[in-house]
Each structure stands twice: as C-alpha cells, then as structure tokens.
Structure 1
Amino acid sequence: MHCCPRYLIFFQYIGSRYSGAAKVPPHQLWKKGIQDHLEDAIKKLRPINPVSLWISSRTDTGVHALCNSAHFDLQRRDNKAPFTEDVLVEALNFHLGTEQIRVTHAHRVSDNFHARFRADSRTYVYRIALGISHRSLLPLTDHDLCWTLRNTELDVGAMRTAAALLVGTHNFNSFRAVSSDMPHVSPVKTLDVADVQPGSSFSHTHFHRNIPLWELTFTSRSFLYRQVRRMTGALVAVGQGTLSVPQLKDLLEAQDSLAFPQGVTAPAHGLFLTRVNYRDADLQFSQRTSDEPLPST
C-alpha cells in the first residue's frame, strides 16, 4: 500500500485582513487565519484523506510573508496519480481566488518530512518609513506594509551597535511577549543575523517625494513569540535616543519579559517573513521513509 503523498508548499500573503498564519478556533471564524484558507483550497481538490496543514512559522495578525511554508498530505480519489508540483500550485491558487494569499511553489517530499521541524532557518525583515506624520501619506504600494515614524533620521550607528549585541546564543526571555501561549519553549535562541540597512520601494521613482526607508533583518532557526517585533522596537528606541546601547544590553541580560519597556514593541504591519530555509536533501522526494527522529525546536 502506497503512503499518502506529502507536499511542502511555499506561499506568501498580505496579512492585514487575516487573523495570523495559524488556524482560528471555530467561534472566531469572522476573521480566518491563513491556514483556514489554505486548508479550504486543499479540500476543494477532493482528497480522500482528512486535510491537515502544518505551517512552519506562525505569524501574528497583520504580519506579512513573502515566503512561509507548510506541509500536508493529499491522496487523490480513484487511485489517481499524485498531482505534479506545478499543477498543484496552479490548482491551489485557483481555489484561493481573490484572497491575498498565493502559493509560489511546491515540492513532493518524503512522508516523514515536517515543515516546522525540518526548517534550518527563518528570516524576517522589518520595514520602517521615516518622516511620515500619518500612514495616509504613504504611497499605496507601501500602505500597511511598513512602520511610519515621524523621525526624519535615526542614529543608525547606535542601532547597529545594539543589534550586534543580540547576535549569538542568548536567553531572549526579555524579548518574549508576556502573553506567550508557549511558555514551555526554551528562551535560549541563536540569532545568526541582526542587521540594519537602507530599504527600497517601487514607489521611490514614481512618487512625489522621497521617503527614507530602513530594513531590519533577523535570521535564526526559530524565534520566540513576538521576539522580532520586540527586538525591532528596542533597536528603533536606540535609534531615537530613548534607549541607550548599555540599557539594551541590560535588558537582554535581565532575561525577564516583564523588564521590557511598555509601548516599545513594533507594530505588526511592518513585519515580513521573507525566507524559510531547508536542506536541499530534505526537498528531494524519496520513496523510502526514514526513522531519523525530527529535531526539536
């Protein structure tokens, strides 16, 4: 008996209208999650197995993704051959219709593959627009896609010095949201990248004025709940001069989520999940199943 074919899909979305990436409880279906819409699209392919999608990265309400990923099993009726990867992408996008969700590519993977636990790293980019007194002054191409600050300048040098303190293996408990629904997850994480660079926008050459944009990039195998938004907010506070580099160091070393300053967390709408990386070997389909245990997060 053949195992049920398993697929890994990569997808992107504008998160403004969705209740985050994860599925929402039945009593909250007035605003669905990305997972709800993707599972609905998979069900329209009429698989004989129950549909269950496993998302690699749970983003919050309002957070966007240029590249998230998930796996699911799909057994077709009447012993039909498994969907090819290109046909699967086209079919899912057809059934997603006008939703601001698009599947970009798919891979047939082994039946022990897990989108969350096999991920080697995740990269987030936070976009900031300077000199904007109100979000309505942004061009449409950036509306709800960056954090607008009245500041015309930030002390980028200080921000980069502070960001360097976050790189490496640390207890990031100070940067975990107090309301975390996964308190059992270890706060010790290894941050591989924390970078501050000028950003870009399609509208720069097609808008009536130049808007300075900055991008904060963070890469790690995994992150704590709202860790990226808290790190971003703290680095921006350093850039604004309301938090010093030594104070950020003290905050990191406090290892206490209650030590994080109130009102400093960056808003959701400037954050993008931009990349989920896997080993090439994990993306190669093999009929053999492995007993290799899944790594823990």
Structure 2
Amino acid sequence: MKARYLTFFSYIGTKFRSSEKIWLKGGKNYPDLESIQGLLEIGLLKLRPLNYPNLTLSSRTDGGVHALNSTAHFDLERYGTKVFDPEYITYELNKFFYKNETSIHVKKCLRVSDDFSARFNALSRTYLYRLAVVKPDIVLPESNIISSYIPIEEWKRCHFIRFPGFDIEKFKAGAKYLVGYHDFTTFKKFDKLTSHKQNRRYLHSFDVKPGQPLVTSYSSTQDSLFDYWDIKIKGRSFVHNQIRRMVATLISVAIGKIPPEEIKVMLQVPSKHSWYTFIQNCPPDGLYLCNVDYNPEDLVFQPVDIVKETEDLEESDKK
C-alpha cells in the first residue's frame, strides 16, 4: 500500500552543494550524497520501500544556506494493507543521519492526502538573514582580515562586514520599497535557462531588528566587536538569489553608495541592466529558511474514499 508523507526538518547547509539534487539524463532515481534531497532519499531507502522515495522539496536553497524548519513530501509503498508509521520514519531517518554524522535533523513526519504538495500547498516562506557589522567606535587594523575577529561559534553562520559609516536607518529606509507586489528581475541571478520565467512576487514583510551573537557562556564575557542584525523576510515565493541580492543592495544603501530611493527605480525598471555591478552578492552563510506555512486543514489526512463520499454528498445537495 502506498502513502504520502510530509516531513519537517532542519539542516546546517555549510557542507552541502545545495538542497536539491542535480537532474541527470538517466532519471531522478539515483543517490546523491552532496544534497539535502539526496541524503533524505538515501535515508528513506533504509526502510526498504517498494518504490524509490522521490522527495519534493517545498523550498530550494543554495549550498551554504541553512534551514531551521523546511519541508518536503514523499511517497512510500510497502507490501500488504499497512503503511509506514510516521514516528517510525522520523526515528529511522534521524538514526541514519546521526550514525553518518550528517547535519540534518528530522523534526516530524505526517501522513497527508495523496494529492498534497509540499511546494504548491505552501502559503508562505519566512527567511532570516543574519548580519554583523563592526561597531562604529571600533577601529580594526586595515591589514587584518575580518575573519580574524569572527567568534568561532559564528563560523559560517552569519555574514560579517566592516564598513565605516554603516547606517542601519538608511538600510531600513531602502527595505520599505521592497514590500509589496513587484517584478524582482533586477534582484535575480541571471540564468539563460530561466530568463523566460516571470519574476513577479509578493513580499509580505521585510523586518530589521537587533540580533544576538551565537556564543558560549565563556565568549559572552568578552567584549563584542559587532552589532548583530536579524533581517526577517516573508513571502509566498522568491526568485533565485533574491534575498541575498536584496540584502547586498541594502548594504550599499547603508554605506552611502546608492540612495534608498534607488531601490524603487530598480523595481520599476526590472532588468539585469538595472543591477549595479559594484554590488557584491551576500554569501549564503547568514541565510536561514525559518518556516514554511500551510493551511492546518491541508495537513489533515483524508482517505480517498472519504473525500469521494464528501464530493458525492456535495453533488447531490446541488441537485
């Protein structure tokens, strides 16, 4: 019997090529040790299902990007009329990841309806970008690279920068233009294969608040050289590299290279030619997928016969 499941999981993406597998000409039923999707599929194969457990990710992230709560759905088939228990799947996956020292943790699995899609049923996605800026009153030797001052706990977990005159209020002023329904072509990494796709997206919110360093009790007694900022962004979906390029542009606004109002122009004239080449895209280290929201009713498993019976009743009421 075949059943569909939704899994909620976290990962530290530093060592992975990406969350998604590379598609090969021979098909998609192959193991991939360098992606989140591939490793989850390998873990599911340990259950010995009758089918290859192709995973459908709700969100695709680049190498180095982390996730606090991502989701994916998959089908599992087994002999007889029984299906795999969701708690058993969770346990076996985490045992596999722990044994192989893999930085993926499965929070839970749910059985969902056969037509449920982790990607298309998602109502919104929330991302966090962690930024750390050298404090205005701190003077560091120009000859020293900034990585010399990064706390070891923060290695590959946050984006550290030092720019004299960094103004967080200008950063916030520029961010206001990004909220709403816009064509984000300017903020998309140019790719000939996807250049024909439309890039209009609705950004629900773009919030900038003071953050906290990830430190131990020992490190917390030391003087911090940085101001930490949490940049929380919520939307239905995003174009490739949109968040990292938006943050990079706002850093240029904060240091006075472009005025906040220029963000509005970059949205009104959506083109790769509206992108300033001096803007360096932010690294993936500071980016986290925080949550994927669904309608709670969509997460309730409904057997096919119950769904059909409900549809028949609705049809008879119409008559």
Is 2:125 the partner of 1:122? Answer: yes
Amino acid at match of 1:17: K
1:278 is aligned, of 294, 306, 309, to 294
Match of 2:303 in 1: 287
Match of 2:28 in 1: none
Match of 1:295 in 2: none
What is the distance in 1 between the residues matched to 2:258 and 2:284? 21
Deviation of 1:114 after TM superposition, in Å, equals 0.6
Structure 1, 145-154 or 249-258: larger mean CA deviation: 145-154
Q: Is the 8 A contact 1:136 1:143 kept in 2?
A: no
Amino acid at match of 2:241: R
Could you say which structure has the larger radius of gyration?
2
Q: Is the 8 A contact 2:32 2:38 kept in 1?
A: no
Is 2:280 the partner of 1:264? Answer: yes
Is 2:44 the partner of 1:21? Answer: no
CA shift in 2, pair 1:84/1:149, >3 Å:
same
Is 2:172 the partner of 1:160? Answer: yes
Q: Is the 8 A contact 2:158 2:286 kept in 1?
A: yes
TM-score (norm 1): 0.90
Match of 1:140 in 2: 152
2:108 is aligned, of 105, 109, 124, to 105
Amino acid at match of 2:289: L
Deviation of 1:152 after TM superposition, in Å, equals 6.5
Deviation of 1:84 after TM superposition, in Å, equals 2.4
Is 2:255 the partner of 1:240? Answer: yes
What is the distance in 1 between the residues matched to 2:256 and 2:33? 38
Is 2:213 the partner of 1:201? Answer: yes
What is the distance in 1 between the residues matched to 2:66 and 2:171? 24
Is 2:95 the partner of 1:94? Answer: yes
Amino acid at match of 2:125: R
Match of 1:174 in 2: 186
What is the distance in 2 between the residues matched to 1:103 and 1:226? 26
Amino acid at match of 1:269: D
Gaps of 5+ in 1: 292-297
What is the distance in 2 between the residues matched to 1:188 and 1:136? 41
Please give the secondary structure, in 2, of the residue aligned with 1:81. Answer: coil
CA shift in 2, pair 1:277/1:126, >3 Å:
same
Deviation of 1:173 after TM superposition, in Å, equals 1.0
Q: Is the 8 A contact 1:178 1:257 kept in 2?
A: yes
Amino acid at match of 1:60: D
Q: Is the 8 A contact 1:17 1:31 kept in 2?
A: no
Task: Write the deviation string for residues 89-124 of structure 1: whole angstroms up to 9, x where unpaired.
Answer: 111111123111111111110000011101000011
Amino acid at match of 1:34: I
Task: Write the deviation string for residues 149-198 of structure 1: whole angstroms up to 9, x where unpaired.
Answer: 01376312111111111101111111111126433432111000111111
Deviation of 1:279 after TM superposition, in Å, equals 0.7
Structure 1, 96-105 or 133-142: larger mean CA deviation: 133-142
CA shift in 2, pair 1:144/1:79, >3 Å:
same
Is 2:71 the partner of 1:69? Answer: yes
Q: Is the 8 A contact 1:130 1:153 kept in 2?
A: no
Q: Is the 8 A contact 1:172 1:188 kept in 2?
A: yes
Deviation of 1:250 after TM superposition, in Å, equals 1.3
CA shift in 2, pair 1:282/1:181, >3 Å:
farther
CA shift in 2, pair 1:268/1:243, >3 Å:
same
Gaps of 5+ in 2: 26-30, 135-139, 309-319
CA shift in 2, pair 1:280/1:73, >3 Å:
same
Deviation of 1:277 after TM superposition, in Å, equals 0.7
What is the distance in 1 between the residues matched to 2:74 and 2:287? 26
RMSD: 2.2
Structure 1, 153-162 or 14-23: larger mean CA deviation: 153-162
Deviation of 1:58 after TM superposition, in Å, equals 0.5
Please give the secondary structure, in 1, of the residue aligned with 2:70. Answer: strand
Structure 1, 245-254 or 113-122: larger mean CA deviation: 245-254
Is 2:239 the partner of 1:224? Answer: yes
What is the distance in 2 between the residues matched to 1:80 and 1:17? 40
Identity of aligned residues (%): 33
